[in-house]
A and B are shown apart, each in its own frame.
Chain A
Amino acid sequence: MKNIKFLLLGIFFAIVLSKSQAISWYRFYEMFTFQSFHMFGIIGSAVIISMIFMQLFKSGKIKDIKGNRIYPKEKKKGLFRTIIGGTFFGLGWGVSGACAAPIFVIFGFKAIPAIILLVGALLGTFMYGVVSKKLPN
């Protein structure tokens, strides 16, 4: 089972999000109304520390488990896709308080809402897949 490490990492990540309330609907409401520092602190410190890791990947000081250089994938470019796509995501996130990874974590707390959110997310993904070639970049 070469993928067991990803399973363990998933468990760890879910516990971190749960214990720091980063899956709570209220915490995202507070974030989007700028009434609390908590989520900004979490995301901000995660980004800043990750920046250091990215530099260490880039300079080759940290290599992957097989000794290969680590290159983060380049994100698809496009003003429209990022802003409009991002806005759609933000609308769903702001109303439901759930983003991608937390949907799966929420299942442990509120199973039926998590399933409805997941079915919606898969529907949305399916819709995107069908129309993706027709959408502006």
Chain B
Amino acid sequence: MDFIQQPWAWFISGPLIALSLLLYFYFGKNFGASTNFETLCTMAGAGKVSDYFKKDWKERDFALMFVVGLLIGGIISAKFLIPEQTIDLNPTTVQELADLGFSNVGKQYFPDEIFGEEVVFSLKGFFILLISGVCIGFGTRYAGGCTSGHAITGLSSLQLPSLLAVIGFFIGGIIATWFIIPILF
């Protein structure tokens, strides 16, 4: 039971992510997550506006099932598998965020300052999430992949575009955490 209750270390999680990639390929498909954004746009009728979305989404039914699995897995995890969301953060991180005005740093997975109910219904909070989402959607499609497709599948198959994309991920991520977050909070 302890294993179910406790957080999993990186050396458990990393190999299990690699196992997920292995199974995804073994099942005959290319591992990745962000193409689903395209499929969902196609299903919502985006093909009427742009030829880019004129695709047969039924060919991607397997990936949509994976997404449904992610949703179910998230619900199972939140409800049953993580009784304690405390994160063992670096004290420097905790101090930095406390200085920015974050409360209860590391006491739960998602800070109230970004994910709290009152915050997401405020104008600022809503747009922080919405615009982040826009960047994620636009960026993954332009770059041709996300963390799964580029950082894991692409890097491990030694593809140069994936290395460049991951460099881009870090340029963006560093700008976001070092400059944008201190401005926003």
Contacts and interface: CB of A to CB of B under 8 A. Distances in A.
A55 to B, nearest CB: 9
B70 A10 contact: yes
Nearest to A1: B65
B67 to A, nearest CB: 6
B134 A20 contact: no
B110 to A, nearest CB: 5
B98 interface: no
A78 to B, nearest CB: 7
Contact of A90 (B89, B171, B184): B171
A23 B8 CA distance: 13
Nearest to A29: B177
A91 B135 CA distance: 7
Contact of B109 (A66, A91, A109, A117): A109
Interface string B99-140: 000000110011100110100100000101111111111111
Nearest to A50: B156
Interface of B is mostly: helix
A105 B151 CA distance: 19
Contacts of A76: 144, 161
B95 to A, nearest CB: 10
B10 A42 contact: yes
Given A30-B89, A47-B155, A121-B37, A89 B136 contact: yes
Given A108-B74, A108-B75, A123-B134, A93 B144 contact: no
Interface residues of B, number: 127
* Interface core residue of A77, A79, A126 (most chain B CB under 10 Å): A126
A45 B173 contact: no
Given A84-B168, A105-B77, A110-B115, A33 B178 contact: yes
Contact of A64 (B25, B40, B132): B25
Interface in A31-64: 31-33, 35-51, 53-54, 57, 62, 64
B174 A104 contact: no
Contacts of B50: 126, 129-130
B14 A99 contact: no
Contact of B74 (A70, A74, A82, A107): A107
Interface of B: 7-18, 20-31, 33-34, 36-38, 40-41, 44, 46, 49-50, 52-53, 61-63, 65-79, 81-82, 87, 89-90, 92-93, 96-97, 105-106, 109-111, 114-115, 117, 120, 126, 128-162, 164-178, 180-181, 184
**Top 6 closest A-B pairs, CB basis?**
A10-B69, A120-B133, A86-B168, A90-B172, A14-B73, A94-B176
